Amino acid sequence: MAALRYAGLDDTDSEDELPPGWEQRTTKDGWVYYANHTEEKTQWEHPKTGKRKRIAGDLPYGWEQETDENGQVFFVDHINKRTTYLDPRLAFTVDDNPTKPTSRQRYDSSTTAMEILQGRDFTGQVVVVTGANSGIGFETAKSFALHGAHVILACRNMTRANEAVSRILGEWHKAKVEAMTLDLALLRSVQHFAQAFKAKNVSLHVLVCNAGAFALPWSLTKDGLETTFQVNHLGHFYLVQLLQDVLCRSAPARVVVVSSESHRFTDINDSSGKLDFSRLSPSKNDYWAMLAYNRSKLCNILFSNELHRRLSPRGVTSNAVHPGNMLYSSIHRNWWVYTLLFTLARPFTKSMFPRLGISVAIAKESLGDRALALLPYEETKVQG
C-alpha cells in the first residue's frame, strides 16, 4: 500500500483490492497483469474477480514512461520530481472482454502484427528474421522490436539492412535492433553468420526463416546448386542445423518457416514414388522458375514438419506459414513479366501489413501465454 500511496493510487474499491502477497503491474502496451510474490508467478487475470484489465487513456500531464537499464518500465513525474514503477493510470483501468475469443475470432485476414502483439512484452527475448530489410520480413522484425524484443535482421545487403535498422529506431529510439550479414546463396556465409551469432552468447527464442527468391533465371550458386533451391530452402535448412543447439538451450523456442500455398502444385518424387534429387537442383534445360519456386516451398513444409517432430520434445516447435494468395510485396522484382502481372493485380491485392500478422501470431504463440517468461517475476522490484 505504501507504493500505491506513493503513486497516488491508494483509493481502491473492495472488489479490485488484491489479496495479500499480490501486486498489480502493467506492460508497455498498457495491459494489466498480476504478480504473486508468494508463488513467484504472474498471470493476466485478477486473482479475485478473474477479469482481465487494460489501461485507459494517456499518462497524466507531466508524466513520462521510461525504461531502465534492465528493460523494466518505470514512470517519471516531472512536476513532483519523482519516479515509480507503478503506472499512475492503474486507478483508471477498464475491463477487457471477459469471454476468451478463439484464434479464429482474434486473427483474420485484416489482423496486423501490431494488433496480435498488443499487450505482449518481449523484453529479454531474442528474435532473428532473415530477409528483414524489406517486405514481410521488415514488418515482422519491426513489430517484435517495438514490443521489446532484441531483433537481429539477417540480410545479404548490409546497406539496406542498416537502413531498415534506422527506420525501426526512428519509430522507437530505444528499440534493440541490429543487422548481421547472411547470404543464403553462399553456405560459407550461413556458417559465418551462425558463428558470429553464437559469439554473442545470447539466447534464440524465435527464428523466422523469411528470406526467399521468386522467378529467378536459372543460375548456380558458388556451392554448385540451383539458386532458388539454395536460397529458399537449403540455406535455411543449414542455418537451423547450425543454430539448433542454441534453440534447444533457449527453449521454449520456435522456428517459423515462411512457405507458400504453391507447394501443392508440384512434386519432388519420380515415377516410382522415390525422391528425385535432380528435381531439387535441376539443370538449365529442366528448369522452370515457377516450378523451382513451388518445389522449394514444398521442401519448406517437409523440413518444418520433420524439424517439429525431432525438436518439439526438447521444447522447440516449428511451423510453416502461408502469407496469403492476395498479397502484394516486392518478391516479383526479378522478372519484368511477373512485375507486370503483379502491377495489374495490385488494386485487388492486400498489403503485407495485415498478412504478416499470421507469421507473427504463430511466432508469438510459441511464447504467448507463457506469462512468466514474457512478464518476468522480479521480487526485488515494485514495478508497473
Quick check: 207 and 170 in contact, CB under 8 A? no
Its sign, for the CA torsion 120, 124, 129, 135, is positive
- Write out the three cell numbers for 131: 530477409
**Sheet of 150-155: strands edge to edge?**
176-181, 150-155, 126-130, 206-209, 253-258, 316-321
How far are the Cα atoms of 48, 301, 305 from residue 232, in angstroms, in the given order?
51, 11, 16
- Residue 22 bridge partners (DSSP): 36
Residue 293 designated active-site:
yes
Q: DSSP characters for 140-159? A: HHHHHHTTT-EEEEEES-HH
Which candidate in 238, 293, 328, 338 is catalytic?
A: 293
CB-based contact 208:359 (threshold 8 Å): yes
Q: Treating both helix axes as pointing N-terminal to C-terminal, what angle do 135-145 and 352-365 enclose, rounded to 10 degrees?
A: 50
Active site members? 293
